[in-house]
Amino acid sequence: MILETKNICNRLQNEIVALSGGGKKTPLLCCVGFSEDGSTLSYFRSIERAAEKTKVRVRKEILKDISIHDAVSFIETLNQDNDIDGIIISRPIPLPLQKKGIRNIINPIKDVDCITDKNLGRLVTGDVIYTPPTPGAVIEIIKEFNLETAGRNVVILGRSDVVGKPLALLLLKKGVDATVTICHSKTKNLASYTRTADILIIAVGSPQFLKADMVRPGTTVIDVGINVKDGRVVGDVDFEDMRRVAGMITPTPGGVGPVTTYILLLNVAKAAKRRTTD
């Protein structure tokens, strides 16, 4: 079975519209990029396209060749701007800005991507302001298709701060109750872990990396990866190979990615509501 996510996106879209309609202002997301590379521009375009179906406004700011000092001041200005509810910065963040900790300059109240230390830290206790969009998208898919998680083996490939680690924390929450294993590039004999999975979630950034012989028949496979190979978008899973053995599988494109975008926009609507009702 292919896990189509269109219904989830429609539901989230309605939720965002309902939440935005009740507030005193139209939510505004500011997307900051540090270069005009194709992936940044197409990422921002996909956010704009989704936002058009909601009441969220999007402002784009591309800061090319900016100094560390000016980048920090710019983010601080966005923090102070009362019209802006949410701020995201596109990845990869240039190394000098990473070293400066630019992501932590964002006011956590406007950190709708959940990348600041403060908001990431809240995941440990469960006291979150915003669900991190990509891990949140995986959880939405699990809920939508009533996938059993309690006591089940969920194996995550990838330990990044935006996907693998926060996702593990969401899966460990009481009520979700998964038994979680995280693998990474130094994991030895990867297949010995992937073959234990009831649900396998992959975010390694390697096109068509996961093959059918690495999982047990019937495994649910959730593919977070988005890569370009031979001019087309593919996931981290070899989809055609895997669909022969997987019980359920998300498609790429069109699976986790669009849900992620709507969770981000939902966070912006929540941020606007929060600021107007505080």
Ligand X SMILES: NC(=O)c1ccc[n+]([C@@H]2O[C@H](COP(=O)([O-])OP(=O)(O)OC[C@H]3O[C@@H](n4cnc5c(N)ncnc54)[C@H](OP(=O)(O)O)[C@@H]3O)[C@@H](O)[C@H]2O)c1
The 15-54 site mask, x for binding ligand X (CB under 6 A), equals ----------------------------------------
Q: Which of these ranges, 51-59, 147-155, 156-164, 170-178, lies near ligand X under the rule CB under 6 A?
A: 156-164
Among residues 116 and 273, whose Cβ is nearest to ligand X? 116
Residue in 160, 179, 181, 196 binding ligand X, rule: CB under 6 A: 160
For residues 220 to 259, the per-residue mask of contacts with ligand X, x marking binding by CB under 6 A and - elsewhere, is ----xxxx--------x-------------------xx--
Residues 6 or more apart in contact with residue 90 via CB below 8 angstroms? 31, 32, 33, 34, 39, 40, 43, 44
Residues binding ligand X: what is the number (CB under 6 A)?
26
Kindly state whether residue 190 participates in binding ligand X, applying the rule CB under 6 A.
Answer: yes
28-33 and 248-249 strand pairing: unpaired
Minimum CB–partner distance for residue 69 and ligand X (Å)? 27
Does residue 114 interact with ligand X by CB under 6 A? no
Q: Smallest gap, in angstroms, from Cβ of residue 21 to ligand X?
A: 26
User: Of the listed pieces 51-59, 93-101, 186-194, 210-218, which binds ligand X according to CB under 6 A?
Assistant: 186-194
The minimum distance between CB 253 and ligand X, in angstroms, equals 9
> Greatest CA span in the chain, whole angstroms?
55
Tell me: does residue 203 bind ligand X (CB under 6 A).
yes
- Residue listed under structure tokens 């990431």: 120
Candidate list 40, 149, 219, 260; residue touching ligand X; CB under 6 A: 260
Q: Which of 185, 213, 228, 253 binds ligand X (CB under 6 A)?
A: 185
Select from 50, 88, 183, 266 the one that contacts ligand X (CB under 6 A). 183
Residue with the closest Cβ to ligand X? Answer: 160
CA 121 – CA 125 distance, rounded (Å): 8
Residue 109 beta carbon to ligand X: minimum distance, rounded to whole angstroms = 23
Tokens 């784009």 belong to 60
Residue 104 binds to ligand X (criterion: CB under 6 A): no
| 206 near ligand X (CB under 6 A) | yes
- State how far the Cα of 60 lies from the Cα of 48, in Å rounded to an integer: 9
The residues binding ligand X (CB under 6 A) are: 134, 157-160, 162-164, 183-187, 190, 203-206, 224-227, 236, 256-257, 260
